[in-house]
Structure 1
Amino acid sequence: MARNDHLLSVGNEALAPMTTAMSALTSQIDQLTEVADARSSARLATLKTRMENFVASVTFVGQVKAGKSSVVNIMAGRPGLLPSDVNPWTSVVTTLNINAKPPGGVKSRFTFFEQEEWDNLMVGGGRLGELANRAGADDEMEDIRRQIADMKAKSEERLGKHFDLILGQSHQYDYFDEELVQRYVCLGDEDDPDINPKTGRFADVTKAAELYMDIPQYPIAMKLCDTPGVNDTFMVREQITLRSLRGSEVCVVVLAASQALTTMDMALMRIIAQFENRQIILFVNRIDELEDPNTQVPEIRDRITETLKQNNIATDTSIVFGSAIWAEAALTGNPDILTDESRKVLNKFYLAAGFGSESASLDKIWALSGFPDLLLAINERIAEGAGSRMVERIRHRARNVASQIRATSVAKNLSGSDSILRDLDGVSPEEAISTILSGYEKKASDLTASLRKKVTERLAGAEANFVKRATDSLIAHLEENGEQGTWQYDPAGLRTLQKAAYFSFARNMRKDVSALYAAAAADIEAVYHQLLGNHLGEFSIEAPIVPRVPPPLGIGRTIALDLQSTWWRRWWQRRKGFEAYAADYTRLIASEANSITKDLEENQVAAVLENVRATLTEFMREQKETLLNISQSAGQGSGQSAALAATKQSEKSREEILGDILKDLSTEAA
């Protein structure tokens, strides 16, 4: 356990502006609630709940045995919690929910593969089997089937009669510890007599593990996601990692200093290349294993920077060097866990850092471990990204609710008088409002259909362009070299074209949807002014915030064209004649390109466009409720004039409060 968990507070200063803004916004929502009607109070309570439930998602990716789990353990203040030497068969995403409310008191949940998912792996070899079949790699497919049969036999032996019953289920506990976690996520070494027989009992069929814990040193709720390494046999890990990254705000790429960004990391590079640069942090772990980190760290940094450049990733991406074992020594207050070699390296680093000959304090060891820099970098990105967007969305909604409260208050004062119009250009307010809503529902439907059609056509064009260039290159090679040698065409060009199509969609979506939302807000605001005339004074309804377009992670998926060596030599050897080469290759490249396009359409574009419609629908629904409430108040009696006079002073006070809150909300937004 961590004796010095106060060290985890280092880096919190980056979150201070965000937490201060959240605190101020909470206070303003509370003030608004005091003067709100029941309907508006419920909306404000929802906004407050959304802010309270904010969780920053941080996903850790990397190679097998790069030290991801060790890094996550330190972040959680629980060294040794997650097994840090996971068997390559294991494909378990483990999520640590920090400072989040556990559902129903559950402290740990382990979810198993669905029957269909398990069958896909067992029968088809998962994603790798899909690629092997598509490329016609029969020998590799046979090898995959043998390994899978072995895996299935061992799983059934461990689980016995429970094997078939467990798929599609989950296990929940009101606690967790190292032994429980290992039972579900780590197979261990079957030949090691010291291994607990319960270790890894469910690991083959466990898809995801969730743990809940409180860490008071962190001022916000966070979700730390420890993914399996991407370089596994069946590419199950790559699929699971991609799925985990889709909703992540920060991607921490954990590398081992001794093999930082080797050729094994190309699948990883393809994935992170799709992120915005500020979302990526590279943590180079295990510098304690270097002979001379003072000279080797700059060399490794230069090598990483060059690799980033070659993969079109900004070279100013944050690169942090450190050591999880040094961090563990500082956090646990036990430097005795360090080996003699690790101590020697630490002493060299200690002197180079300018600490002189003074004794190695735990605070200074923590500083040299790289974790203060890692925590600071993570917190900066949370505050600048998801945190900032969340605060702005809540503040924006709160301003609109304040305007609605004000309009309702004005209507209440005018109820029973002739000041609230019941005829809007020849139709009732109810009809006018319904017409606006149905009109924008159609506009949103037409716009999203148009956006989807454009991006689909451009993606199809990217496919066709790449297939033609690749086929032309193949034919040119054959004409020059005949059927001797081998040939391969780099699919990087395909990804560049697809990424350009996706970003074009993102730009068009932001521009067109922003215009649609602005028009909807203007038309709704006009109805308020029609109903209440000059009694509103300064009044505005703000357009909804345009949904964010997430990075196109599907482009980073491995495709058959990325696979090297044996596959392609055999593919080449099985074909005779120019026509067979060109026809088979064209069919293969078209199929692979289309698999990426389909993923982008179904998992990215469709989700964005659905969010566009849902955001507008929610905005219009809220405004409709308020407008109908105002309209209906026009037919209500005014009551006794004495009663109105008695409330005049309190209503004036309400107007002043609303004015002050709106001013505060607008000032902070600026």
Structure 2
Amino acid sequence: MARNDHLLSVGNEALAPMTATMASLTAQIDQLTEVADARSSARLATLKTRMENFIASVTMVGQVKAGKSSIVNILAGHPGLLPSDVNPWTSVVTTLNINTRPPGDTKAKFTFFEQEEWDNLMVGGGRLGELANRAGADDEMEDIRRQIAEMKAKSEERLGKHFDLILGQSHQYDHFDEELIQRYVCLGDEDDPDIDPKTGRFADVTKSAELYMDIPQYPIALKLCDTPGVNDTFMVREQITLRSLRGSEVCVVVLAASQALTTMDMALMRIIAQFENRQIILFVNRIDELSDPVNQVPEIRDRIQDTLKQNNIDTNTSVVFGSALWAEAALTGNPDILTEESRQALNTFYLAAGFGDQAASLDKIWALSGLPDLLLAMNERIAEGAGARLMDRVRHRARNIASQIRATAVAKNLSEGEGVARDLDGVSPEEAIKTVSAEYEKKAAELTNALRDKVLERLKSAEDNFVKRATDSLIAHLEKNGEQGTWQYDPAGLRTLQKAAYFSFARAMRKDAGALYATAAADVEALYHKILGNHLGEFSIEAPIVPRVPPPLGIGRTIALDLQSTWWRRWWQRRKGFEAYAADYTRLIASEANSITKDIEENQIAAVLENVRAILTDFLREQKETLLSISSSADKNPGQTAAAMAGLQPQKSKDEILGDILKDLSNEAA
């Protein structure tokens, strides 16, 4: 267990401005609530709940045995919690929900594959089977089916009568420990005599594991996701890793120092290349295994930078070097766990860091482990990313709610005196409000359809362009070399074109949706003025914030063209003549290119466009409710309104309080 869990607090300084802003916003929302009506109070309570429920998502990716689970265990303050020597068959995403409210008394939840998902793997061979089938690799498909049959037979033998009953189900516990977790996420040694046949081993059919824990050293809630390595036989891990990365704020790529170059394989590079630079942190683990860490670390850093550059990844990406073993020694207060080689490497680093030749302190070992730098980098990205976006949205909504409260108060005062003046060109407030809402819902539908059509047209153009260039290159190769040898066309160009199309869509969406939101806000603000005349004073309704466009992770998924195997030699051998080569290859690469486009459309573009519509719909609904309430206040009995307000007036007028709060909210935004 962690005896020195206070070390986990290192790096919290990066979150201090964010947590201070949260506290300030909470206080201002409380002030607003004191002068708000019931409807606005409920909206303000929702804003507070949104801040209270803020969870930062961090996902760890890498290859098998790079040390991801060891790092996650350290970050969880619980060395040894997750198995760090996972059998290659295991494809389980394990999520640590830190400082979050668990459902009921649940502390651990293990979810199994649905029957359809299991059948897809068993019958079709998963993604690898899909690719092999598309490429016409019949021999490989037969090999895949044989391996899957062996896997299924072992699973049924291990689970017995439980096998058919657990698919699509989940197991929940009010506790967890290492032994329980290993039953679900690690197969272990099949010859282990300690395996309990009554409980079985569920890792073959476990889809995900969720654990709930509290770590008071972290000032925020954290969702820490440990993904399987991406280099598995059936590419199940790559699919699961991509699914986990969607929505993640920070991607920590864990590499082993002794294999830092080889572990940066193409599958991994394709995935992380889709992220924004500030979302990626490379953690080079196991520097304690290097023979000369002081000199080797700079060399490894330079080579990693070269690798990033070659793969069009920003070389300013953070690279942190460290050792999970050193971190565990510091956290547990037990340096005896270090091997002699690890101890020597630590001493070398200790002297190079200028700490002198005195006995190594646990705090300094922790500093050299790289974990403080990793925590600081994670927290910086959380604060400037998801944290900043949340604060902007809450502050923006609070200002609009304050404006709505002011308009409601003005309407009530007018209803008690001269009455509400309406200048709506002869139509009722209800009709005017309904007309504006319907108009912008229609415009939103037209805009999202136009954005979708345009990006799909550009993606299709990227496909066609790539297919033509690849086919032309193939024909040129055949004309020069005949039917001898093999040939393959790098799909990197396709991904470049698809990424350009996606980011063009993102720019167009931000511009066009922003313009639509702005005109909608202006028209809604005009309705307030038409209903309440010139009694509002300084008053504004702000446009909704345009949604963020997530990175196009689907572009990084493996396609058949990426695979270097015997497939291609056999593929060429089965074809005779230039026309057969060109026609068949064109069909293959067209289907492969289209598979990426389909993934981007279904999992990224559709979600973004639905968000564009939903944000505008929510904005219009909220404003419509307030405007209808203001309109109906003119029909209320003035005496009743005055009685309802009696004794509730604060020392400062409501308008003065609202003015002060709006001023504070605007100053913070600046």
Please, what TM-score do these two structures have when normalized by structure 1? 0.98
CA distance in 2, matches of 1:440, 1:279: 34
Residue 43 of structure 2 is matched in structure 1 by: 43
Residue 446 of structure 1 is matched in structure 2 by: 446
What is the deviation of 1:105? 1.9
- The answer to whether 1:548 aligns with 2:548 is yes
What is the deviation of 1:638? 1.6
- The answer to whether 1:497 aligns with 2:492 is no
CA distance in 2, matches of 1:111, 1:640: 57
- The answer to whether 1:180 aligns with 2:172 is no
Structure 2: which amino acid aligns with 1:10? V
Please tell me whether the aligned partners of residues 417 and 634 of structure 1 are also in contact (alpha carbons under 8 angstroms). no
CA distance in 2, matches of 1:533, 1:114: 60
DSSP 3-state at the match of 2:546: coil
Structure 2: which amino acid aligns with 1:580? A
Please tell me whether the aligned partners of residues 255 and 264 of structure 2 are also in contact (alpha carbons under 8 angstroms). no
Structure 1: which amino acid aligns with 2:43? R
What is the deviation of 1:643? 5.5
CA distance in 1, matches of 2:653, 2:82: 57
CA distance in 2, matches of 1:113, 1:399: 45
- Identify which range, 561-570 or 233-242, moves more after superposition: 561-570
Structure 2: which amino acid aligns with 1:274? Q
Name the CA shift for 1:597/1:429 in 2 (closer, same or farther; >3 Å). Answer: same
CA distance in 2, matches of 1:645, 1:84: 64
CA distance in 2, matches of 1:129, 1:311: 27
What is the deviation of 1:419? 3.8
Residue 321 of structure 1 is matched in structure 2 by: 321
What is the deviation of 1:113? 0.2
What is the deviation of 1:261? 3.2
CA distance in 2, matches of 1:647, 1:657: 17
Residue 151 of structure 2 is matched in structure 1 by: 151
Name the CA shift for 1:642/1:320 in 2 (closer, same or farther; >3 Å). Answer: closer
1:391-433, Cα deviation, whole Å (9 max, x unpaired): 1101100110111011111111111555413451110000000
Residue 526 of structure 2 is matched in structure 1 by: 526
What is the deviation of 1:192? 4.0
What is the deviation of 1:164? 1.0
Please tell me whether the aligned partners of residues 93 and 225 of structure 1 are also in contact (alpha carbons under 8 angstroms). yes
DSSP 3-state at the match of 1:314: coil
Please tell me whether the aligned partners of residues 5 and 331 of structure 1 are also in contact (alpha carbons under 8 angstroms). yes
Structure 1: which amino acid aligns with 2:373? D
Residue 669 of structure 1 is matched in structure 2 by: 669
Q: How does 1:449-488 map to 2 (within 5 A)?
A: 449-488=449-488
Residue 251 of structure 2 is matched in structure 1 by: 251
Name the CA shift for 1:232/1:200 in 2 (closer, same or farther; >3 Å). Answer: farther
Residue 190 of structure 2 is matched in structure 1 by: 190
CA distance in 2, matches of 1:154, 1:321: 40
Please tell me whether the aligned partners of residues 58 and 222 of structure 2 are also in contact (alpha carbons under 8 angstroms). yes
Q: How does 1:593-612 map to 2 (within 5 A)?
A: 593-612=593-612
- The answer to whether 1:561 aligns with 2:561 is yes
CA distance in 1, matches of 2:647, 2:565: 84
CA distance in 2, matches of 1:423, 1:293: 77
**RMSD in angstroms over aligned alpha carbons?**
1.5
Please tell me whether the aligned partners of residues 256 and 263 of structure 2 are also in contact (alpha carbons under 8 angstroms). no
- Identify which range, 420-429 or 379-388, moves more after superposition: 420-429
Residue 225 of structure 1 is matched in structure 2 by: 225
Name the CA shift for 1:232/1:518 in 2 (closer, same or farther; >3 Å). Answer: same
CA distance in 2, matches of 1:315, 1:488: 29
Q: How does 1:25-104 map to 2 (within 5 A)?
A: 25-104=25-104
Residue 3 of structure 1 is matched in structure 2 by: 3
CA distance in 2, matches of 1:511, 1:651: 45
Please tell me whether the aligned partners of residues 15 and 379 of structure 1 are also in contact (alpha carbons under 8 angstroms). yes
CA distance in 2, matches of 1:239, 1:177: 28
Structure 2: which amino acid aligns with 1:42? A
CA distance in 1, matches of 2:313, 2:421: 59
Please tell me whether the aligned partners of residues 423 and 530 of structure 2 are also in contact (alpha carbons under 8 angstroms). no
Structure 1: which amino acid aligns with 2:388? S
Please tell me whether the aligned partners of residues 187 and 199 of structure 1 are also in contact (alpha carbons under 8 angstroms). no
Please tell me whether the aligned partners of residues 252 and 281 of structure 2 are also in contact (alpha carbons under 8 angstroms). yes
CA distance in 1, matches of 2:610, 2:261: 37
CA distance in 2, matches of 1:31, 1:569: 72
CA distance in 2, matches of 1:640, 1:502: 57
Residue 305 of structure 1 is matched in structure 2 by: 305
Name the CA shift for 1:644/1:155 in 2 (closer, same or farther; >3 Å). Answer: closer
Structure 1: which amino acid aligns with 2:51? M
Q: How does 1:11-410 map to 2 (within 5 A)?
A: 11-193=11-193, 201-262=201-262, 265-410=265-410
DSSP 3-state at the match of 2:129: helix
Structure 1: which amino acid aligns with 2:260? A
Please tell me whether the aligned partners of residues 416 and 635 of structure 1 are also in contact (alpha carbons under 8 angstroms). no
Structure 1: which amino acid aligns with 2:483? E
What is the deviation of 1:265? 1.6
DSSP 3-state at the match of 2:610: helix
CA distance in 1, matches of 2:654, 2:96: 45
CA distance in 2, matches of 1:231, 1:281: 20
Residue 591 of structure 1 is matched in structure 2 by: 591
Please tell me whether the aligned partners of residues 96 and 212 of structure 2 are also in contact (alpha carbons under 8 angstroms). yes
1:569-627, Cα deviation, whole Å (9 max, x unpaired): 12122211101110111000000000000000010000000000000000000000000
Please tell me whether the aligned partners of residues 412 and 641 of structure 2 are also in contact (alpha carbons under 8 angstroms). no
Please tell me whether the aligned partners of residues 419 and 533 of structure 1 are also in contact (alpha carbons under 8 angstroms). no
Q: Percent identity?
A: 86
1:259-290, Cα deviation, whole Å (9 max, x unpaired): 11316621000000000000000000001111
Give unmatched runs, 5+ long, in structure 2: none
- Identify which range, 39-48 or 653-662, moves more after superposition: 653-662
CA distance in 2, matches of 1:263, 1:640: 74
Give unmatched runs, 5+ long, in structure 1: none
CA distance in 2, matches of 1:640, 1:120: 66
Please tell me whether the aligned partners of residues 231 and 264 of structure 1 are also in contact (alpha carbons under 8 angstroms). no
Please, what TM-score do these two structures have when normalized by structure 2? 0.98
Structure 1: which amino acid aligns with 2:565? S
Structure 1: which amino acid aligns with 2:658? L
CA distance in 1, matches of 2:648, 2:7: 56
CA distance in 1, matches of 2:178, 2:317: 34
CA distance in 1, matches of 2:581, 2:65: 40
DSSP 3-state at the match of 2:155: helix
CA distance in 2, matches of 1:107, 1:451: 43
Name the CA shift for 1:325/1:645 in 2 (closer, same or farther; >3 Å). Answer: closer
CA distance in 2, matches of 1:145, 1:538: 71
Residue 514 of structure 2 is matched in structure 1 by: 514
DSSP 3-state at the match of 1:105: coil
What is the deviation of 1:641? 11
Name the CA shift for 1:242/1:640 in 2 (closer, same or farther; >3 Å). Answer: closer
- Identify which range, 422-431 or 540-549, moves more after superposition: 422-431
What is the deviation of 1:647? 6.3
- Identify which range, 192-201 or 111-120, moves more after superposition: 192-201
1:56-84, Cα deviation, whole Å (9 max, x unpaired): 00000000000000000000000000000
CA distance in 2, matches of 1:136, 1:316: 42
The count of aligned residue pairs is 670
CA distance in 2, matches of 1:300, 1:171: 44
Residue 573 of structure 1 is matched in structure 2 by: 573
Please tell me whether the aligned partners of residues 185 and 200 of structure 1 are also in contact (alpha carbons under 8 angstroms). no
What is the deviation of 1:565? 3.1
CA distance in 1, matches of 2:200, 2:292: 38
CA distance in 1, matches of 2:642, 2:283: 71
What is the deviation of 1:195? 5.8
Name the CA shift for 1:650/1:23 in 2 (closer, same or farther; >3 Å). Answer: closer
1:149-188, Cα deviation, whole Å (9 max, x unpaired): 0110111111111111100000111111101100000001
Please tell me whether the aligned partners of residues 64 and 228 of structure 2 are also in contact (alpha carbons under 8 angstroms). yes
- Identify which range, 236-245 or 642-651, moves more after superposition: 642-651
Please tell me whether the aligned partners of residues 411 and 630 of structure 2 are also in contact (alpha carbons under 8 angstroms). yes
